[in-house]
Amino acid sequence: MRQRVATAVWRVLLAGGLVCGVGLLPWLTRTDPAYTVLKARSAEREPTPEVLDDIRRQLGIEGGPVQVLGNWLGGVGRGDLGQSWLSGSDVLPGVATALGASLLLMGVALLVAVVTAGAVCARTLRLGGQRRLGGRRRGGTGSAVLASLPEFLVASVLATLVGVQLGWLPALGWYGPQWTVLPALALGLPAGAVLGRLLDDLLPGAFAEPWALAAAARGLTGRSVARQAVRRCVPALLPNLGLFVVGLTGGAVAVEQVFDIPGLGRTTLQAALAQDLPVLQAGTLALVLLAALATGGARLAARLLTGPAVRDGALSSLHRPAPPGRLLPPVLYGAVLIVVAGVGLGRDPLALDTGQRLRAPSPAHPFGTDALGRDLLARVGHGALDTLLLASAISAAALLLGVLLGLVPRVAAPLVDTVNAVPPVLLALLVTAVVGSGAATPAFAVGAVAWAPLATHTAALLRQERATLHITATKGLGAGRAYLLRHELLPAVLPPVLRHALLRLPGVALALASLGFLGLGAQPPSPEWGLLLAENQPYAERAPWAVLAPAAVLALLGALAVTAAGALRRGPRGGRRPARPDSSAGDGGAGDDGGAGGDGGAGGARGVVGVVGVVEKEAVVVR
Amino acid sequence: MRSLRRPRLLAPFLLTPLIAGCFASGGGDSGDGGGKGGDGDRLRVALAFPPAENLSPYGADATLLSRLGVTEGLTALDANGSAAPALAESWRRDGEKTWEFTLRDAIFQDGSDVTPDAVADSLGQAVRAKPAPAALAGVGLTAEAGGERVVRVTTAEPDPVLPLRLSSPSLAILSAKAYEEKGGKADAVGTATGPFQLTKVNGATSASLDRFDDYWGGRAQASGIDARFVADGTARANALRTGELDIAEAVPVAQAASLDEGTRRDTATTRTTSLLFNASSGTFKDAGLRAAARGAVDTSVFAKDVYEGYGDPGAGIYGPAVTWAEGKRSAPVGRAGAGKPGGDDVIDLATYDNRPELPEAAQVVKQQLEKAGFTVKLTVREYSRLEADALDGKFDAFVLARNTLLDTGDPVAVLASDYTCDGGFNIAQLCDKDVDRAVADAEKIADTAKRQDAAMAAEARILGSDAVVPLVHQRIITGVADSVQGVILDPYERTLVGTGTRR
């Protein structure tokens, strides 16, 4: 009980600190809010001292940060969230409308994600229901590729193809049900692929449990066995869904932009850039509350579905030693990547020739040229080095931080929720405020999010490992805590978390590029992959190859990570346990493979989907 | 379990009203576009810049109001950039500091008459606004009724360009009702004088306008306007292609090719994209190196390739949209000989990504400078994160798109603010006695033609300093559906829809 109170207090402290931190943003970043407000109102207006003074008086910020924050907190106590600094209108109705639009979008996207996830697992469900799953090797390249597609790319392709070329659905606006379809598809397809992979990884374990055999023997149809298997696995995914809900509500900026949806993502982005603090604070508050609701809701739903079983420790492990993945696909993907990079490295990525702009692929330019006539093969090849090096460095740092924080889950779990609720741009600004805008800032900004899923994963695996018999035996032999950690726990936990970090590489690369407009991260003419995607996006319709090349290598990287993680499974951990004769193609854990990093996108480092499910799942595991 | 199921199925229907509240209002019902009684359809227009201040007439939103035909000032700009009659029929200068404007017979959209008192009061409100509209910055202006149809406007200092100044959209004339709300706010809903009146504003998403039947210039042909504010250029172009829109403002160059040839109309604008060199510090303090860099930049590729033909090669500070400029242009004066780039100095070149063509142009500049022997580092940021550093002179070179006629429509104003020692927007950090003198001379002249001559003389001086290399004069692309006629393609970007616009 005391621990629960402590966690609750920590959670409230974090949320309070966040909202106050937002309230002090201009003073932390040393950027005059009068200036950013003026520029947001009218970019061409000269920032003369008189004008800035007038605005300061108008906003009532001459009193300094403490007074401004105090006034705001006083207002919140009375249910008054203040007036927007930008437009002067009341904050509450505006943010409520934006939140409504975002929640609706998220809701439909969730629906799409569920259907997509269903499609991804359809084969496993069918085979499992008929008990023909035995020994099936895992595929998953297709869903991994889908999961690593950036949202903004899916959005613009859908808008152009379905909205304009085919004319089936409106390509712009937010006025009724038919307007929700395309944006929801753009958000839901990649997310659904991630969820589907998670579920698909869990299902074989469920089908291999004794009840499934008994049910089949009793004559239940394959359909009802499959339904029960889904029900058995869904609780493990619910916390993922919770984070997904919050992430999409505040972080769908790119999709809102492409389809012109007046959602919360754009509202907070604009407010963050203009330092319109009242709007920013209200938006953050709403997202933090939503995060608390989502976490609570996920816990409640999981308890409703599997409550008694958890209490009685009556569940068996969903984890089973899996047959190692095939070696051929990762080798093949890796070889293609290396060949592309190798050939590209021999060419000049910066040589402009505006006369050769947007040329289709040809022998001279195998991947075509971009809007300035640069060779895309060269840019993809040279970008590989920058992208992979930086993304790997960030992933390594996030891995270290994640494992360390994962050792103290009570501290980390509320932190994960809070970090997930902050709009990505705001988080980048806060990070910039703390560390300044140096060369390492983008790494910090992306790393500030990237650790969260890894920490959750580590915590979950630790909890599971602590409950195993061999740990009890080692303790019985007199081993101390340090010995246990070093010789038993960490060796067991590190490999899957490492594989997981690997899976998030493409997402990290995309998140890096999404910070460019703040002057963080790669700057043109760097051929960094995320930047390549962003700068060629306006030409997606006229020169599809210009976005196809970077998107394809990124997807290839995702597929490589997923298949390589499967092949890596022949580690010492897998070898230590004897494979059970009846083992169907279960797998080492959702988090191990699930989160093929399809999160980044222009929306930013929204990386928690795909992992946190492990927490709940591990909670129900008794070995 | 079974008993719970039916209510669950019904739950979505109970949510329907809640969900309906989550959609944006307005715009959706414009699909059928039925007008009032069938005389003239409503126009569906997408504007690029959402209102930042609830369509307040004193800031940048004023341009939106003027483009939609809601507000008018005493004067307007004609095609040659001179003041033309609007609410004022005529005007004359009365002494050094006073001008007399004779009003035409007009009524406000709330039904009251446009009287000299109402006009004087409206101008007074603009003067007292905090911060003051840009067109009034540094001008002490008072207005009073001076007869049955006459308004007398007096300035603290002699102001030869007052009629031009009063054409600024931020000095639109509103009725007394607009100022009833406290707090210095002006509300243009139903209080302006233009051919269309605002009926509803949905935040920064959309606005509805109806025709104002008693407009002094005759009834507009369209019965109303459904305006949407769509920031994303691709989204605007897409909506036009699917027939969701009649007019899409500012289609990005990258999307122009996706529109049918008849749908895209391009107009020369007063916006010039220039390369500015920091003349006060760093490498380009040396006029010789500025000359070398200017020589290295081949301006022909920008209009042709980066802007895909939707631009004119940089000729001077003023482009072809300033119609009188070309005939009066003289060769740059006082150019230094080209120096030899050397040393290990890295040139900090900066630009912003709010206009997608600018980073592309900057990358071309970078390559051209590097070919000439300079070492260049490029910085691209969002504009508001960049401007303060640029004004402080933290960059050696800057690619800037700048409107050369500013809020006042006075050609000299941009020279004074951008290229003189005391200029408030002097990114080039130019401080040159000859330039200052030339600009000061031009500022004193009242006669339009002579003022233009003096402005061109000052331009020659500024170009001679090599602190600025005009790269391209932008053309703005407006997407207009085939069925729509009478769209006003205004080089000053102050009007778009008028009485003759219809579909």
ipTM computed for the complex: 0.85
Q: Which of B187, B206, B241, B242 to mutate to test the interface with A (most CBs of A within 10 A)?
A: B242
* A283 alpha carbon, distance to own chain's centre: 20
8 Å CB contact between A444 and A431: yes
Residue B34 has pLDDT above 70, yes or no: no
Q: What local confidence, expressed as pLDDT, does residue B437 receive?
A: 94
A49–B contact, CB cutoff 8 A: no
Mutate to test the interface with B, among A25, A62, A87, A91 (most CBs of B within 10 A): A87
DSSP-derived secondary structure for B291-331:
HHHHHH--THHIIIIITTTSEEE--SSS-TTSTTHHHH---
d(CA B90, CA B80): 18
Give the contacts of A48 (CB within 8 A, at least 6 positions apart): B137, B424
Q: Give pLDDT, residue A421.
A: 79
Q: What percent of chain A has pLDDT over 90?
A: 9
Alpha-carbon distance B169 to nearest alpha carbon in chain A (angstroms): 13
Handedness of CA B230, B235, B239, B240 (dihedral sign): positive
Helix (H, G, I), strand (E, B), or coil: what is residue B263? coil
Q: For chain B, how many helices (H) and strands (E)?
A: 14, 17
Partner-chain residue, chosen from B23, B363, B425, that has the shortest CB–CB distance to A352: B363
The pLDDT of residue B126? 92
Pick from A161, A227, A354, A537 the residue to mutate for testing the B interface (most B CBs within 10 Å): A354
Nearest to A148 by CA among A606, A557, A528: A557
Give the number of other CB atoms < 10 A from CB of residue A228.
18
If we measure between CA atoms, which residue out of B353, B82, B323 comes closest to residue A273? B353
If we measure between CA atoms, which residue out of B44, B376, B139 comes closest to residue A50? B139
Instruction: Please tell me the distance from the alpha carbon of residue B326 to that of residue B321, in angstroms, as a whole number.
Output: 10
Please name the helix (run of DSSP H) or strand (run of DSSP E) that holds residue B98, with its range, or none. strand B98-103
Nearest residue of A to residue B371, measured between CA atoms: A351
Interface membership of A437 toward B (CB under 8 Å): no
Q: Is B134 on the interface with A (CB under 8 A)?
A: yes
CA distance B275 to chain A (A): 17
Does the beta carbon of A178 lie under 8 angstroms from any beta carbon of chain B?
no
Q: Most B CBs within 10 Å: which of A92, A164, A172, as the mutation test of the B interface?
A: A172
Spatial strand order in the sheet of B150-155: B88-94, B98-103, B150-155, B141-145
Mean pLDDT of B327-339: 88
Closest partner residue to A372 (CB to CB) among B241, B360, B425 is B360
pLDDT of residue B11: 63
* Facing B381 at nearest CB: one of A174, A175, A517: A517
Residues in CB range of A65: below 8 A, 6 or more apart: A23, A24, A26, A27
Q: What is the pLDDT of residue B428?
A: 93
Q: What average pLDDT score do residues B435-446 get?
A: 92
- Mind telling me how many Å the CA of A544 is from chain B's nearest CA? 13
Q: Which residues contact B500 (CB under 8 A, 6 or more apart)?
A: B220, B221, B485, B486
From the list A89, A258, A539, the residue facing B54 with the nearest CB is: A89
Q: Provide mean pLDDT across the span B28-46.
A: 62
Nearest C-alpha neighbor of A193 from the set A565, A562, A612, A605: A562
pLDDT at B297: 93
Q: Which of B453, B134, B418 is nearest to B274 (CA)?
A: B418
Nearest CA in chain B to A54: B131
* B11 touches A: beta carbon within 8 Å: no
Residues of A in contact with B65 (CB under 8 A): none
Residue B210, pLDDT score: 95
Establish whether the linkage from the previous residue to A33 is cis, with ω within 30° of 0: no
Q: Do A43 and B378 touch (CB under 8 A)?
A: no
Residue B247: pLDDT above 90?
yes
The three-class DSSP label of residue A621 is coil
A532-566 pLDDT, tens per residue? 888 888 888 888 888 888 888 888 887 887 777 76
Q: Could you read off the pLDDT of B146-159 as tens digits, one per residue?
A: 888 999 999 998 88
Q: Does B394 touch chain A (CB under 8 A)?
A: no
Give the predicted TM-score (pTM) of the model: 0.84
Q: For B144-205, give the DSSP string.
A: EE-SSSEEEEEESS--TTHHHHTTSGGG----GGGG-SSSS----TTTS-SSEEEEEEETTT
**DSSP output for A553-603:** HHHHHHHHHHHHHHHGGGSHHHHHSPPPTT--S--S-HHHHS--S---STT
> Is the CB of residue A359 less than 8 Å from the CB of residue A368?
yes
Single out the residue of B270, B278, B271 nearest to residue B419, CA to CA.
Answer: B278
Is residue B238 less than 8 Å (CB to CB) from chain A?
Answer: yes
Residue of A36, A257, A262 with shortest CB distance to B384: A36
CA distance A596 to chain B (A): 30
Radius of gyration of chain A (CA): 25
Q: What is the pLDDT of residue A584?
A: 36
Name residue B348's beta-bridge partners: B377
Question: Each residue of B259-293: pLDDT tens digit?
Answer: 888 899 999 999 999 999 999 998 999 999 999 99
Q: Around Cβ A339, how many Cβ atoms within 10 Å?
A: 11
| Amino acid A574: pLDDT | 39
A538 touches B at CB < 8 Å:
yes
B252 touches chain A (CB under 8 A): yes
Residue A240: its pLDDT value, please?
67
CB B194 within 8 A of CB B485: no
For A260, name the nearest residue in chain B, comparing CA atoms only: B230
Which neighbouring-strand residues pair with B202?
B206
Angle at B33 between CA B29 and CA B35, to 5 degrees: 115
| B417–A contact, CB cutoff 8 A | yes
Q: Hey, which residues 58-77 in chain A have their CB within 8 Å of chain B?
A: 58
CB contact under 8 A, A262 and B356: no
List the single best residue of A36, A42, A358, A372 to mutate versus B (max B Cβ within 10 A): A42
d(CA B71, CA B74): 10
Spatial neighbors of A513 by CB under 8 A, at least 6 apart, are A521, A522, A528, A529, A530, A531, A533, A534, A600
pLDDT at A239: 67
Please indicate if any CB of chain B lies within 8 Å of the CB of A176: yes
Q: Which residue has the tokens 């246990």?
A: A484
Cβ contact, residue pair B238, A371, below 8 Å:
no
d(CA B131, CA B184): 10
The answer to whether A47 contacts B391, with C-beta atoms less than 8 Å apart, is: yes
Judge: A45–B134 Cβ closer than 8 Å, yes or no: yes
The string of pLDDT tens digits covering residues B215-240 is: 999 999 999 999 999 988 888 999 99
pLDDT averaged over consecutive 10-residue blocks of chain A (623 residues)? 83 86 82 85 83 86 82 83 85 90 92 92 86 65 78 85 87 86 91 80 78 86 88 74 79 85 88 86 89 83 70 51 69 90 89 87 91 91 85 89 87 82 79 75 84 77 70 82 84 76 76 72 81 85 88 85 68 40 36 34 32 29 26
Cis peptide upstream of residue B133 (ω within 30 degrees of 0): no
**Calpha distance A308→A499 (Å, rounded):** 33
Tell which A residues from 26 to 45 touch B, by Cβ distance under 8 Å: 35-36, 38-45
Contact A483, A390 (CB under 8 A): no
**In chain A, positions 517-536, which contact chain B (CB-CB < 8 Å)?**
517-519, 523-525, 535
